[in-house]
Amino acid sequence: MKLGHKPVKMHVKKNDTVQVLTGNDKGKTGKILRVFPDQNRVIVEGVNLRKRHTRPNKNQPQGAIIEREMPIHASNVKKV
């Protein structure tokens, strides 16, 4: 948490089903996987997918490109 920055009380919590109000994924619904109250952001299942390049490791010797959900602002979702 940043100095002088208080976490905001969130109107949603983990495992709530929400609908996205704005952005490229407008209208999509999903379950909240994670909440970041200090940043006022949430991660919604199947929403805001981005491709991440990973380094080679034991599981993927060649490396890989995986799709992950990224956080979106809590004001852009509403409970369903």
Note the pLDDT tens digit of each residue in 32-61.
999 999 899 999 999 999 999 999 999 999
Which pLDDT score, from 0 to 100, does residue 8 have?
73
Q: pTM of the predicted model, to two decimals?
A: 0.82
What is the per-residue pLDDT for 5?
A: 67
Give domain 17-79's CATH architecture.
Roll (2.30)
Predicted confidence at residue 2, as pLDDT, reads 59
HSE (side-chain half, CA atoms, 13 Å) at 28:
16
**SS in 3 state form for 16-80?**
CEEEECCCCCCCCEEEEEEEECCCCEEEECCCCEEEEEECCCCCCCCCEEEEEECCEEHHHEEEC
